[in-house]
Structure 1
Amino acid sequence: MKKISHYILFSIIGILLSSCSGLKYLTVETLEPAQVNLPDNILRVAVVNNVVQQPDEIGHDLIKLGSNSTEREKASSDSIAIFYTEALTQFLDEADYYQRVTYYSKPLREDSDFFMEKPLSPERMNEIKSETRSDAVISLDKLIIETNKREHFRQFGSTYADLKGKIYSIIRVYLPTMNGKIPAVQYTDSLYWEGFDLQDNIMFTEVKLPSREEAMKLLAIHAAEKMSNVFAPHWEMQDRWYYTMPNKYMREGETYAKVADWNNAIIKWESFYNLQSNKTSKAKAASNIALAYEMLDNMVEAFEWAKEANKLFNESTSPNSLERRRSQLYMNEIERRRSNSNRIDIWE
């Protein structure tokens, strides 16, 4: 159901101790917003496959052992677009953001013009929406996959090679709009493998090179997972840390942090900050306070304290110090989350 707040939520997964370094690390799970901000009334979506199957002779190359020339190969992309759209449907459904995600299995393209895109007509869009009782249609409108293999050597009758797969897709979101815009999201990515091209040979199975067909399926599922993050909020694991010092207030703040009592941790760390004249010590306390506010989902205060920590580290440490670099990265990350700069509102 589309009910997740657009603000960042946090849940502490675990705390890993490293007392000798003066830091204690924790891993948090952050809720990243969708990169494409669909209107709030889009509660049910249908996913469709609107591409023509890629011809076997397009997109596949081979450089044989001892050769520098590239040869064309054939590989079947049968059902790859189906793998992509079915996986996208599953990932979006598992995100639990929309009330319902439906996979529309009926074929949409009956022509053979692989290179030509044919976006859905308003009439076809409305038919699909009516059949699936959806508010919008997410359509795979273009899919091109390349596989490039290079052979390196032979051993025990098997060839050792590398295989690079590249995927390019265009997904459009169809729904009635006042200005008639059809948002399109382009996605390009690649995966790389190396190992033995075993075929019927059972040796070296632990370093087996996937077939081109297997590689295309893996690329399709990988792309579908990435694209699901475009249309729905998703959880990501992030590393965080706080500074420890042999001081009463810092230790008490740490005790509260261990049980996620961030409000009391802030009180203790602020007490230490206000009593200190040493800028490096103040910077460490400020960094801890920024973390506590981040855990409380108060990104405005978190950014102010992260900025203060960075300023104090810049004033008290060398240009190449780890503390300075770490605080700069953390300040930038909090600013990114505070502004939600990775969201794209395509309806404004």
Structure 2
Amino acid sequence: MKIKNILYLLMISIFVSCGTSSVIVNIQRPADISVPQSVQKVVVVNRSTAGKENMVGNIVEGIFTGEGIGADKKGSEYCVMGLTQMLSNSERYELRGGGDLNLKGTGTSTFPDLLDWSKVKKICDTYGADALIVLSTFDSDSRTFEGKKVVKTKTIKGAKIKEVRYPVTLVMEIESGWRIYDATTKKIVDVNTFTEVKEYVEWGNSYDDARANLPSKRQALKSSGIFAGEQYGFRITPVWTKQNRLYFTGKSEKLKLAKNYVKRADWDKAIEIWKSLTNHEDYKIARKAYYNLALASEIKGKLNTAIDYAEKAEQMGENRAVTYISTLKKRQTDEKRLQEQLNN
């Protein structure tokens, strides 16, 4: 698999302020960890639900916590869904199966005993896979609390009217534990537990009104469960993200013309204009041109050139260039990790 070079801007934002505009670009970020290259074809397994010996305890927990009987089971399915959706679009792995394989576990936040390697191999052989990515634990918790009311004064037809608004927040907390079994090397290549918290805030004319506007706990569990699975996806697979980049427009007619070319994704024409401005008698325009050339170079995948241009802008006193240089250097480091992770 080859790393896709960053091509051209996907969208021009409407944001214009202090002589700047912005573009949104697609950037591939590396996974948080590098999984061994022996792991290519994977099966996602849900082993977080309770076996018979743990079933009673889970029912009691559901009753006393108010989470509902079977809520964690459903939540774990959403969690697996979040991960499988990411892996199905991954350039790093080939997903085998649809994430519908279930094995019994503890049904609690406690990890079950390790799977026997003969069982791991049997499952992998069945699916033609190298490894199992196993959701080993899953636990959800929700709570609702009322915030401080806010009083605002509105003027309607010359009359001042007080409006009182009441906030209510639903907090959904998901704890998920994962293991990756490498069938080839018979090693656990990752084991970790993560806690994700999502908040849903609604306002109303009363606390009851605000509470009625909140999503149901089932809806919140679904979105939070999927989110938790996606977060583990970020840990193990490179993903494409959208990032915002600023560039200078200003009052110069040439900078305005270059902006029009950027809107049409004609970076070559914009580069011609910016290069012609690097020797401008107004050093402020010259440093802006260098900064913009750094962005154009990044867009074209030339990070070394981008850093050179950004450093020239910094030397001429462009303060924004300091942060941008750090961003570009981080991207260089990320590119090296991506090459390792995607086996380029």
What TM-score, normalized to structure 1? Answer: 0.74
* Number of the residue aligned with 1:291: 295
Q: Which amino acid aligns with 2:231?
A: K
Pair 1:119 & 2:114 matched: yes
Q: 1:232 aligns with which of 225, 233, 237?
A: 237
Structure 1 contact 118–141 (Cα < 8 Å) conserved:
no
CA distance in 1, matches of 2:107, 2:10: 50
Pair 1:32 & 2:49 matched: no
* Number of the residue aligned with 1:69: none
Pair 1:282 & 2:294 matched: no
Q: Which amino acid aligns with 1:224?
A: G
Q: 1:301 aligns with which of 283, 299, 305?
A: 305
Q: Which amino acid aligns with 1:75?
A: G
* Number of the residue aligned with 2:181: 174
Pair 1:150 & 2:145 matched: yes
CA distance in 2, matches of 1:39, 1:94: 19
Structure 1 contact 137–175 (Cα < 8 Å) conserved:
yes
1:144-193, Cα deviation, whole Å (9 max, x unpaired): 2221223579xxxxx97432111122222221465935222443220112
Q: Which amino acid aligns with 1:307?
A: E
Give the drift of 1:12.
Answer: 1.6
Structure 1 contact 55–114 (Cα < 8 Å) conserved:
no
CA distance in 1, matches of 2:255, 2:107: 69
Q: Which amino acid aligns with 1:43?
A: Q
Pair 1:91 & 2:86 matched: yes
Structure 2 contact 39–131 (Cα < 8 Å) conserved:
yes
CA distance in 2, matches of 1:17, 1:152: 34
* Number of the residue aligned with 1:209: 214
Pair 1:221 & 2:226 matched: yes
Pair 1:335 & 2:329 matched: yes
Give the secondary structure class of the aligned counterpart of 2:73.
Answer: coil
The higher relative CO (CA closer than 8 Å, separation ≥ 6) is in 2
Give the secondary structure class of the aligned counterpart of 2:265.
Answer: coil
* Number of the residue aligned with 2:53: none
Structure 1 contact 60–74 (Cα < 8 Å) conserved:
yes
Structure 1 contact 253–264 (Cα < 8 Å) conserved:
yes
| Identity across matched positions, percent | 22
Pair 1:22 & 2:22 matched: no
Unaligned runs of 5+ in 2: 51-56, 149-165
Give the secondary structure class of the aligned counterpart of 2:32.
Answer: coil
* Number of the residue aligned with 2:270: 265
1:76-132, Cα deviation, whole Å (9 max, x unpaired): 323221221133212321346534342353432255665243333322221221111
Change (3 A) 1:34 1:11: farther
CA distance in 1, matches of 2:137, 2:118: 20
Change (3 A) 1:193 1:258: closer
1:179-222, Cα deviation, whole Å (9 max, x unpaired): 9352224432201124499xxxxx95995233444433321111
Give the secondary structure class of the aligned counterpart of 1:276.
Answer: coil
Change (3 A) 1:177 1:185: farther
Change (3 A) 1:271 1:149: same
Q: 2:197 aligns with which of 190, 199, 206?
A: 190
What TM-score, normalized to structure 2? Answer: 0.75
Aligned-pair Cα RMSD in Å:
3.8
Structure 1 contact 59–146 (Cα < 8 Å) conserved:
no
Structure 1 contact 27–237 (Cα < 8 Å) conserved:
yes
Give the secondary structure class of the aligned counterpart of 1:12.
Answer: coil
Change (3 A) 1:21 1:117: same
Change (3 A) 1:111 1:232: closer
Structure 1 contact 89–103 (Cα < 8 Å) conserved:
yes
* Number of the residue aligned with 1:313: 317
Structure 1 contact 172–185 (Cα < 8 Å) conserved:
yes
Give the secondary structure class of the aligned counterpart of 1:115.
Answer: coil
Give the drift of 1:140.
Answer: 0.9
